Structure 1
Amino acid sequence: MVIQRTISPVDGSVYVERNQADAPVVEATLERAVVAQRKWREVSIDERARFCSRMVDAIIARRDELAEELTWQMGRPIAVAGGEMGGFEARARAMIALAEEALAPLRLADRSGFTRYITREPLGVSFIVAPWNFPFMTAVNAIVPAIMAGNTVILKHSAQTPLCAERLQQAFDEAGLPSGVFQYLHLSHEATEALIRDSRIDHVSFTGSVAGGAMVERNAAGRFIATGLELGGKDPAYIRADVDIDAAIEGVMDGVFFNSGQSCCAIERLYVHRDIFDAFVERVVAWVKHLRLGNPTDPETTLGPLVRPAAADFVRGQIEDAVKAGARAWIDPGNYPLSTPGSAYLAPQLLTDVDHSMRVMTEESFGPVVGIMPVVDDDQAIELMNDSEFGLTAAVFTRDMAVGEAIARRLEAGTVFTNRCDYLDPELAWTGIKCSGHGCSLSRLGYETLTRPKSFHLKHA
């Protein structure tokens, strides 16, 4: 057996050890999923909803315990870790509520002598590969809709957050879900790739890096199965001259620094109209200085560590390269004793005098840093916002809603916000373009990726 260890970013200790699944365990899991799906597809949507709702109830009943585990596994401050379960619940219940309408047969107009309609058939076995940064909320985006659509699920969670998979299994077991409908596996990278290649896998949902998405596509190639890939972003926000500066800062800075910036839809680039640029920077520096970097188990901590020291050192490298190239760093790392090279703890940082020749403005950072550039008008802001290989979300802060919506139409992103950011509404499609991936989760449209259409053309005798 190969041992999988979870190193806590809180203190560098081994928090969880698990055996990775070997070939016989994987085979047995696949067989159970295939057999279970043949029966599960015949279960009514109402009954599926009852199982899923009871699962959500079980998760919420353990909210405080799960929040503490989350803090130790990936470092989110305990003061806000419980919000993950709130988001989990909102997304799960929304997708349960949408299922009946989304999965209803499409009835066509009557034609003499014929009955015609289109059903939405489940795909089969869905393999879901979930990340560590929002381990319950990202997983539920795929798990609940897949099960509600009549598929069975095999979950492979990040090695950083293995307990999340186990807690989901416990919750489904408490809900009485039939055996084999939901299962999890702790897997190596090699075993993950092999499972994607297995002919019994009918759908793959992956959330993670661009390199990870390319891995999924390589291993699914030639099998013609459905894949959904959410691969991150370098999300921009534009602050127009007409805003209430303090209100805009409060909204956009949460989008930059929540979860220490470790969100695929975190704001990593800021474009501010030159007329308010100096005032904006002055106030945003003051805002950031109120963040408290510290041990995330302390309720007073507002900024926790990154998931591992290598992730923090990557962001440090981006910042150092930008400063060498002429950027100005506004926050003194020396004021944050925990933030030292080789540590998972990283001081927040704001950079000005940046441009798109710098890595910090083009590479995904996934950390507590943002570059801020002045722009002369809306057109320049749009050009710079679209100058990226990513396209997950974008945000515009303005008092003029007509102008904000007009700008939104020109932005290359899967979701565009005005006067908010870094938020997922489960009734809206969650999707990205360019290197942010392809496919769609959540909303009514998300069910289309988890089913296939089947047409019925019945001539009356």
Structure 2
Amino acid sequence: MPIATVNPANGETLKTYEAMGAEETERRLQLAEATFRTYRTTAFAERARLLNRAADLLDEDQQDIARVMTTEMGKPIRQARAEAAKCAKAMRWYAGHAEQLLADEEPADADVSDSGASRVRVRYRPLGPVLAVMPWNFPLWQVVRFAAPALMAGNVGLLKHASNVPQTALYLEDLFHRAGYPEGAFQTLLIGAGAVEEILRDERVKAATLTGSEPAGRAVASVAGDMVKKSVLELGGSDPYVVMPSADLDRAAQIAVTARVQNNGQSCIAAKRFIVHTDVYDAFAERFVAGMKALTVGDPMAEETEVGPLATEQGRTDVEELVDDATRSGATALCGGHRLRRPELPGWYYPPTVLAGITREMRIHREEAFGPVATLYRAGDLDEAVLIANDTPFGLSSNVWTRDETEVDRFVRDLEAGSVYVNGMTASHPAFPFGGAKRSGYGRELSGHGIREFCNITTVWHGA
């Protein structure tokens, strides 16, 4: 895949970049290693000052970087501005909380005399240069939720971004540079996917984090495992959205639309499988389909647009194939179901689609639909709802709508996912740990759990 900005709204290639060669990559690895030696010793106050400055600059740049993101991957411009604002918020959160999150800890059992020590502490120390392999769907947020905690912990970052968002990738390096970070604290590597393994095998790179597809995650995890290096993976998701009879159906259906089509449906944590109790199935389906049909599909730069194009032509093809396979196998398209054909929208658009009558044999039951396509399931009771929800190789997040606390307890106990959102839609927040189970990956981002992922958790023992 070429390193290029290709506008998904019209397919026009706007800018192409040459991949960095071996000499430039080596220079940047040397710089990262050298910068880490000194940056690791900076005080939390100085790291916080730098990160807060980056947040201020990002706020100033919000409109411009939003337009870049929309041009590169097609998200509606309002959502792009919101993404930039969220990144600035996360930077300030880590600037304000990192010192406390990484403060020395005493063992829970304060009596350590039987160890021969007068005192034992746990200290969190940085690891070194961390390689981040990031996706295009949230081209700013995915990076910042790694970079903010990593930099506050005293690590330095090496970013290998998706090849279709090079301008956003370069902006991030420039942002941290303008904020005053030492050269080498955060660097963008304009390289292809084939160059990742060699960099990860380099002894100067101490760990890796990846957000992306399951095959990409397997590849990075395999190399990291072979090199005995820490890795964190956030992979795909096919999140269930369960609606029980006691739910507020109007609210559940309204939020369901947003939960499915956020970011043009290209979100790992988007609700994708809507599992509805039979007693309220028809009423929910009517409301949900009406909401999907009412969405405004159009130019992502237009303020009124709610659904823009998919980011790549291949992405649209993948969605089409999943829908076509389902309808050929007996599924019914309650809305959408075919490629959008409007002369004024020549890009990679796919309409909001709701499929009913899904069976286990259909590909869309097993695979992640990365576009504005929802699948509807009818569940006879809570037990069947849980079975359907867990009948997936993924386990990123989940959504449950019920006013029955006994049902809430059952779902929280039994759903195989990294998060359970009750009467609301999944959303990441800097204070909450984020990550999944099963083939959705391992490790956690955000919160105290996320900042400690790339720390050397060190026991400090003092003799009597």
TM-score calculated relative to the size of structure 1: 0.95
Which consecutive unaligned segments of at least 5 residues does structure 2 have? none
Q: Relative to 1, partners in 2 of residues 1:411 and 1:3: Cα closer, same or farther, differing over 3 Å?
A: closer
How far is the alpha carbon of 1:459 from its aligned partner? Answer: 2.2
Match of 2:105 in 1: 106
Q: Identity percentage over the alignment? A: 33
Matched pairs, number: 459
Match of 1:434 in 2: 438
Match of 1:136 in 2: 140
Residue 74 (1) aligns with residue 78 (2): no
Match of 1:40 in 2: 39
Contact between 1:413 and 1:433, CA under 8 Å: does it hold in 2? yes
How far is the alpha carbon of 1:139 from its aligned partner? Answer: 0.7
Specify the SS of the correspondent of 1:374.
Answer: strand
CA distance in 2, matches of 1:6, 1:168: 16
Match of 2:128 in 1: 124
How far is the alpha carbon of 1:334 from its aligned partner? Answer: 7.0
Equivalent of 2:392, from 388, 391, 397?
A: 388
How far is the alpha carbon of 1:24 from its aligned partner? Answer: 0.7
Give the AA of the match of 2:377.
Answer: M
- Which is worse superposed, 47-56 or 115-124? 115-124
How far is the alpha carbon of 1:339 from its aligned partner? Answer: 9.3
CA displacement 1:432-459 (0-9 Å, x = unmatched)? 1111001111111112211012222222
CA distance in 2, matches of 1:217, 1:332: 38
Residue 88 (1) aligns with residue 87 (2): yes
CA displacement 1:171-207 (0-9 Å, x = unmatched)? 2122111111111111111211211111111010100
Q: Relative to 1, partners in 2 of residues 1:425 and 1:406: Cα closer, same or farther, differing over 3 Å?
A: farther
CA distance in 1, matches of 2:168, 2:236: 21
CA distance in 2, matches of 1:141, 1:441: 7
How far is the alpha carbon of 1:7 from its aligned partner? Answer: 1.5
Q: Relative to 1, partners in 2 of residues 1:60 and 1:402: Cα closer, same or farther, differing over 3 Å?
A: farther
How far is the alpha carbon of 1:116 from its aligned partner? Answer: 2.3
How far is the alpha carbon of 1:97 from its aligned partner? Answer: 2.4
Specify the SS of the correspondent of 2:335.
Answer: coil
CA distance in 2, matches of 1:180, 1:303: 38
Match of 2:50 in 1: 51
CA distance in 2, matches of 1:401, 1:425: 24
CA distance in 2, matches of 1:426, 1:356: 36
How far is the alpha carbon of 1:338 from its aligned partner? Answer: 3.2
Q: Relative to 1, partners in 2 of residues 1:409 and 1:97: Cα closer, same or farther, differing over 3 Å?
A: farther
How far is the alpha carbon of 1:158 from its aligned partner? Answer: 1.0
Q: Relative to 1, partners in 2 of residues 1:85 and 1:405: Cα closer, same or farther, differing over 3 Å?
A: farther
Contact between 1:340 and 1:346, CA under 8 Å: does it hold in 2? no
Q: Relative to 1, partners in 2 of residues 1:216 and 1:340: Cα closer, same or farther, differing over 3 Å?
A: farther
Give the AA of the match of 2:361.
Answer: S
Specify the SS of the correspondent of 1:275.
Answer: coil
How far is the alpha carbon of 1:361 from its aligned partner? Answer: 1.8
Contact between 1:9 and 1:74, CA under 8 Å: does it hold in 2? yes
Match of 1:449 in 2: 453
CA distance in 2, matches of 1:457, 1:283: 62
CA distance in 2, matches of 1:16, 1:434: 38
Give the AA of the match of 1:364.
Answer: E
TM-score calculated relative to the size of structure 2: 0.95
Give the AA of the match of 1:70.
Answer: M
Q: Relative to 1, partners in 2 of residues 1:401 and 1:136: Cα closer, same or farther, differing over 3 Å?
A: farther
Q: Relative to 1, partners in 2 of residues 1:318 and 1:257: Cα closer, same or farther, differing over 3 Å?
A: same
- Which is worse superposed, 125-134 or 77-86? 77-86
CA distance in 2, matches of 1:300, 1:161: 24
Equivalent of 2:296, from 292, 299, 319?
A: 292
How far is the alpha carbon of 1:342 from its aligned partner? Answer: 9.9
Q: Relative to 1, partners in 2 of residues 1:406 and 1:111: Cα closer, same or farther, differing over 3 Å?
A: closer
CA distance in 2, matches of 1:257, 1:361: 18
Specify the SS of the correspondent of 1:350.
Answer: strand
CA distance in 2, matches of 1:325, 1:145: 46
1:411-430 equivalent positions in 2, closer than 5 A: 411-430=415-434
Q: Relative to 1, partners in 2 of residues 1:332 and 1:270: Cα closer, same or farther, differing over 3 Å?
A: closer
Give the AA of the match of 2:209.
Answer: S
How far is the alpha carbon of 1:98 from its aligned partner? Answer: 2.5
Q: Relative to 1, partners in 2 of residues 1:178 and 1:343: Cα closer, same or farther, differing over 3 Å?
A: closer
How far is the alpha carbon of 1:123 from its aligned partner? Answer: 0.7
Contact between 1:52 and 1:175, CA under 8 Å: does it hold in 2? yes
Contact between 1:203 and 1:227, CA under 8 Å: does it hold in 2? yes
Contact between 2:160 and 2:190, CA under 8 Å: does it hold in 1? yes
1:308-319 equivalent positions in 2, closer than 5 A: 308-319=312-323
Match of 1:157 in 2: 161
CA distance in 1, matches of 2:246, 2:200: 50
Contact between 1:4 and 1:18, CA under 8 Å: does it hold in 2? yes
Specify the SS of the correspondent of 1:456.
Answer: strand
CA distance in 1, matches of 2:328, 2:22: 50
How far is the alpha carbon of 1:316 from its aligned partner? Answer: 1.0
- Which is worse superposed, 93-102 or 50-59? 93-102
How far is the alpha carbon of 1:250 from its aligned partner? Answer: 1.1
Contact between 1:392 and 1:415, CA under 8 Å: does it hold in 2? yes
Contact between 2:3 and 2:166, CA under 8 Å: does it hold in 1? no
